[in-house]
A and B are shown apart, each in its own frame.
Chain A
Amino acid sequence: MTGSGKMKKKYASGEASWYMTRKQALDKLQVNLRDFRRLCILKGIYPREPIKRTRAQKGSTEKKTLYYKKDIQFLLHEPLIWKMWDMKARHKKIQKSKGKRDFEGAQRLNKGRPKYDLDHLVKERYPTFSDALNDLDDPLSLCSLFAIMPTVSKLSEALVSDCRRLTVEFMHYVIESRALRKAFISIKGYYFQAEVQGIAVTWVMPHHFVYMRPENVDMKVMAIFSEFYTTLLGFVNYRLYHSLNLMYPPKLALTGATPTDTCMSTRELDDERVAALNTPLARARLPDDADDADDDAELALMAAAAGEELEEVRRRRQRTRRLQRLFAGCRVFIGREVPREPMVFAIRALGGTCSWDASCAPGATYSETDETITHQLIDRAMPQGAKKYTSRYYVQPQWVFDSVNCGDLRPVQLYFPGVELPPHLSPFKEEEVTWGEYVPPDKLKLLGQLQGQLQGTEQAAAEDGVGDDPSSDEDEDQESADEKQEDEDNEESDGEEEGEDSDGDEEMEDEAAEDSAKAKMKVTPGKIEKVDDRKDKMKESKEDFWMRARMIKKKDKHRFYKLLKRKKLMQEEARLLTKKRQIVEKEMAERKRQEKKQMKKALAQT
């Protein structure tokens, strides 16, 4: 009979058949949880959130870790897992020969132990180079952390030194290609953003201290991650260096040594790293005129863009050009109390040269007494009796970072030693005032927009519903003052007018009042109604907003109210911050006034 096939089983097809729990995956792959973890990390496999959990778990409501079945099959065909099985078998053999006291055999087996490499995984996870660049934030951040870690049992020395080498190599690339765009000192560490082949790569370099390993951190997991990341970074570096006609592994231009060769202790190694950063790299060929390639790229861009976009592209490009030569001509001397690595990186990456006291670390290129030094970074009070050179500016290290973010050298007098520093602002916050986010006035000032902003719409949007403009309040006051005269004239008749007031008075007319009105029956001068256009318009726009919100489609409704809530939260936050700012400013002004007073007093006494 046609149509009378097998009865369809439940959960045999559809979403229920797409997923596999972790337990099933382990059984299928014949590995233990530890190996599975390693596989997942190296291969980039992660659990998936099903569309509907109960259906995906075949009716079970308990929350399980679900993987795509196809992902697990993908793992099954992975040479890495074959190697892992081989390793497991080999390990068993070694144990067996050890048990038989056949140590020679065990040694032989151990010697030929299978080893895996991850090259193909890099290619597989990142089929194009730009894919790899897009995912470079985590590798760089983790390797930067490992680069300052002491070698402990869980972290092999080779791994740590690899991390050190590769991060330094990447930083060298950024220096050579002048790719640094943003830099930020946070309480967590130094954030850097570089633009590598048009892709923004952001990483964080921890403050250089000894970090205590927290109890609940499993270094093994991070070690597996860094194992993959070092491989990835190596290939990325190779490619990047070749794109700049640099040799890889890099050679320093002067000594010809690799940046982190022959380092004995950790301390020396750290110093070497910084020293290496201060030295240009040897090139395979003499550099071509790099601008040519740039111009080509730009022409292509310009062809694509048109009109205003063209103008925008040009402006952006000019800014980048200027940023790349920001510290050109600056000879910076770094004081011994200033962290060298981030400073050297930031200065050198934007065309500056720097040096430090040769007695505190190797790699110094000129001494403090050099008269050609233009800036000296100092992070303490000027030492007593030290010679102060008039040919150079003494500035605090924040000057370097603020200059990078500003795209222009900041005025040095704001950063003199002992001066109250201006706030250090994050370059990662774009001005998104449509959401009503708070933008610190310092930022606005920095952008030179403060004048326009004060009365501008954006400010109003930021403080939406916070309160009326003080200026408009004043206007109202004036108006009311004008009207006062008239009001006084009409005072006596005000009481009788109430009944005819069409302004929304809901009070029911009294019988008596009606009678008296009839009895008097005279024309009284009307009250002039105050019309506040702005308020009316605001009211109307609010009403419109409300009506449109009611008209919203059902599918968008949830998202809309969620966003609205978020916006309101943001506005509330902005309101609080504005309020706090006002308080702080008031306090500052008060303090200044007090100081002035005391100064005057002191002057008077003398």
Chain B
Amino acid sequence: MAKGKKGKSAKKADLKSSKNDVESDIAIESLKRKAVSDEVTDNEDTLPLEQDDEDTLEILDENKALDEYEHDSSDEEDVENTIGDVPLHWYEDYDHVGYTRDACRILRGASRGEIDSFLEKVENPDFWRTVIRQTTGQEEKLTDEDVDMIVRLSQGKFATSAADPDTPWVDFFTRDVMEMPLSARPEHKRSFVPSRIEALKVAKLVDHIKRGFLKLDEEKVEKPRFYQLWGEDGSAGEMRRLYRPQPAPKLRLPGHSESYHPPLEYLPTEAERAEHERRLEETGSARPLPQLYHSLRAVPAYPEFIQERFERCLNLYLCPRKTVTKTQLSGPEELLPELPDKRDLQPYPTHCNQLYSGHKNIVRTLSVDPGGQFFASGSDDSTLRIWEISTGRCMKTVEFKEPVTAVAWNPNPKLSVVAAASGKRVYMVNHGLGDRAAAASADGVFRAPPERDDTTVRSQKVGCAWRRASEAEWAQGIRLTINISRQCKQLSWHAKGDYFATVAPDAGNTSVLIHQMSRWRSQMPFRKTQRAQAAAFHPLRPYFFVATQNHVKVFNLVKQELSKKLSGGAKWISSLAIHPRGDNVVIGSYDRRVHWFDLDLSKLPCHRLRFHGQAVRQVAFHRRYPLLASCGDDGKVMVYHARVYNDLMKNALVLPVKVLKGHSLYDDLGVLDVAFHPEQPWALSAGADGTIRLWI
């Protein structure tokens, strides 16, 4: 047992020595030097020896162990320490290194002081070959053989001179099968009988292969990696394809600003740089700033390159796609509707020709003489003025007590009458301009009240008082006063010039009244009307149009019934105009719109015109030309080309042709009234700035 142990430890020592050969080299080197030169050495040289004495001792052991039976005695007198094969560092903290067979402690050799060791070195000639045996703690002197072996080993030779490097190698076991067995023991039966378990295993595998559970690795046929994948052009192949494929948009191509040497104007200014940095801080990403490098050599790596490619990849497989039909447009202008040449739509008023100034306050209303020579205007300065159109001269001024809110020129050329509404009264004014006969016949109407008949009773119910003008008023030109209960907003004559309608929105049921001038009587056409805004007679047939707040109602005056109700979504109708032929109606509303209704087609408007930025105040048709005008609080007069076709199924054509600007705003009011000249393509507009303009 001991022998085995020793052999093991010897081997171990061998390994160890090879492991620690660097350290032992140092020790051996020093030893050798001692041996050769026999010099007096310093302390430093001895130190490594002391450190590595374990190894050297063990090598020593091996050396001894060469003689196999040398220590094969039962008593083993030379082994003093009984601790066995344990690491010696376990005893590092103690002053003993083990125990003798008698259980006495083996004390560590007392360590010599430096002076002592020096003295020893000087005195003892064998000091250099003296080592301390770790297991016993005793000093020992190396023999000549030991030293010789150490020297040989350090020189890379065999440990002993006896070893022969050229001895032939004899294999203990050979590759060749020997003819005779090493032992005479007969083989077991199972060496000759096939293994049952293996047979079972093989059977199972065979079964699996047969049944297809186990697939043998097939011989792989190497096909070329790339080949002609697509057939001839044009044959798309019968491949399944993605459902409604949407190809990814291509990446934007770089512009001049991304050049390494862009034109100088692309370089960012300080402000742009600051803005870029701010955006970068806020959002974490921003377009790269253009940069200028004076040579290609100076261009660095673009740090975001991988990031950009990665984002593109992400977009390709994560970004939801949507088909957007994009038409290539050369600009937004392409979407604009094509309008006919404006020269083909002439004549229409294009510029301001005449300015009629004289009113000292807002001009509320105006009305043109059917002959086309004069027009009347009413203003907040409580005057009615009559002007000559061509010269701009104010021909006549009639003063009232309250602002004039509505003026209407009698369409009958044989009567020189202008109706004007001021306050709660409607006045009939004989202007006396133009034909004298007309003036005389007008006076004839008003000189004496007509004979009363049964209708007077009704007119009394209506509550209108007709009164002949006083002498003072007569001198001014006023001939008749009709007292209606509320302020009249609008006046409109029937085409024949005998009947006229007044609209007083606040008057409740009597908001619309129809008056007959020749017979001095008034009547209430409807029992119930809610806040009428405007009213007008059909130019040819016995129909009567009333605009309430949201609707336009068309009444048949013969049958005395409602024949139509037009509604276009206007929130508050301000004005009403009827086409001279009577089939089309236009309304203006305070919610900035102008609606065109075709009475033959629908109750809904066929055109919605949104050209005003503010409330629309008035709309007007031209009697002869296909013209429509609207004015509003934005100070503009819009002129439209409004062609009505004879074909009933064809919608009217309405095209804006001109914006007439000139009136200035006053107190948020712009242009309050507009009217066309009866014969010429001219328009007259009354502004809140106290002027009237003629547009030709």
Contact = CB atoms under 8 A, between A and B. Distances in A.
Nearest to A511: B360
A506 interface: yes
Contact of B254 (A142, A426, A502): A426
B689 A508 contact: yes
Given A68-B243, A185-B260, A563 B331 contact: yes
Interface string A57-76: 00000000110101100100
A425 B331 contact: no
Contacts of B320: 46-49, 65-66
Contacts of A234: 225-226
B684 to A, nearest CB: 15
B243 A564 contact: no
Contact of B299 (A49, A66, A207): A207
Contacts of B260: 185-187, 424
A398 B611 CA distance: 56
Interface string B34-78: 000000000000000000000000000000000000000000000
B307 A214 contact: yes
A547 interface: yes
Contact of A423 (B251, B261, B313): B261
Interface stretch (B332-340, B445-453, B498-506, B576-584): B332-340
A74 B313 contact: no
Interface residues of A, number: 116
B186 interface: no
B606 to A, nearest CB: 14
Contacts of A556: 335
A549 B227 CA distance: 58
Given A44-B242, A580-B265, A128 B306 contact: no
A581 B297 contact: no
B306 A145 contact: yes
A147 interface: no
Contact of A138 (B229, B241, B301, B316): B316
A499 B358 CA distance: 11
Contacts of B8: none
Contacts of A338: 296-297
Interface in B257-306: 258-266, 269, 288, 290-291, 293-297, 299-306
A55 interface: no
B162 interface: no
A82 interface: no
Interface string B220-239: 00000111111001101101
B236 A128 contact: yes
Contacts, number: 286
Given A548-B337, A551-B337, A502 B261 contact: no
Contacts of A66: 320
A41 B233 contact: no
B336 A580 contact: no
Contact of B230 (A44, A129, A222, A561): A129
B335 A563 contact: yes
A397 B261 CA distance: 12
A421 B261 contact: yes
Interface in A204-221: 206-207, 209-214, 216-218, 221
A186 B253 CA distance: 11
B353 interface: yes
A184 B261 CA distance: 11
A184 B254 contact: yes
A239 B230 contact: yes
Contacts of A225: 313, 316
A74 B240 contact: yes
Nearest to B336: A548
Contact of B228 (A65, A74, A239, A506): A239
Contact of B243 (A71, A210, A339, A429): A71
Contacts of B610: 550
B314 A221 contact: yes
A420 B293 CA distance: 11
A37 B314 CA distance: 10
A137 B251 contact: yes
B20 to A, nearest CB: 38
Given A68-B244, A127-B241, A551-B337, A235 B229 contact: yes
A504 interface: yes
Contacts of B306: 145, 211, 213-214, 217
A222 B251 contact: no
Interface string A114-145: 00000100111111111010110110011001
Interface string B81-109: 00000000000000000000000000000
A379 B242 contact: no
A112 B352 CA distance: 96
Contacts of B226: 234-235, 237-238, 248
B370 interface: no
Contacts of B316: 41, 46, 138, 225
Interface in A64-101: 65-66, 68, 70-71, 74, 77
A552 interface: yes
B322 interface: yes
Contact of A553 (B294, B297, B337): B337
A45 interface: yes
Nearest to B691: A506
Contacts of A187: 258-260, 288, 290-291, 293, 299, 302
A185 B297 contact: no
B229 A185 contact: no
A321 interface: no
Nearest to B307: A214
A540 B435 CA distance: 43
Contact of A128 (B233, B318, B658): B233
A563 B313 contact: no
Contacts of B211: none
Interface string A242-258: 10000010000000000
Nearest to A420: B294
Query: Max chain B CB contacts within 10 Å: which of A70, A216, A421?
Result: A421
Interface stretch (A290-298, A386-394, A434-442): A434-442
A47 to B, nearest CB: 4
A238 B302 contact: no
A103 interface: no
A567 interface: yes
A207 B301 contact: yes
Contact of B253 (A49, A126, A191): A191
A145 B332 contact: no
A463 B643 CA distance: 39
23 contacts: A45-B317, A49-B320, A49-B322, A68-B243, A74-B240, A135-B247, A141-B251, A141-B309, A185-B296, A188-B288, A189-B305, A214-B310, A221-B314, A380-B297, A424-B260, A425-B259, A440-B266, A506-B662, A547-B659, A550-B656, A551-B336, A551-B339, A581-B265
Given A141-B251, A211-B303, A248-B226, 14 more contacts: A66-B320, A125-B242, A127-B237, A188-B305, A189-B305, A191-B253, A221-B313, A222-B310, A234-B226, A423-B259, A424-B261, A435-B331, A506-B663, A563-B335
Q: Which 8 pairs of residues, A with B, have the shortest CB-CB distance?
A: A209-B301, A49-B322, A563-B332, A428-B253, A581-B265, A70-B243, A580-B265, A49-B320
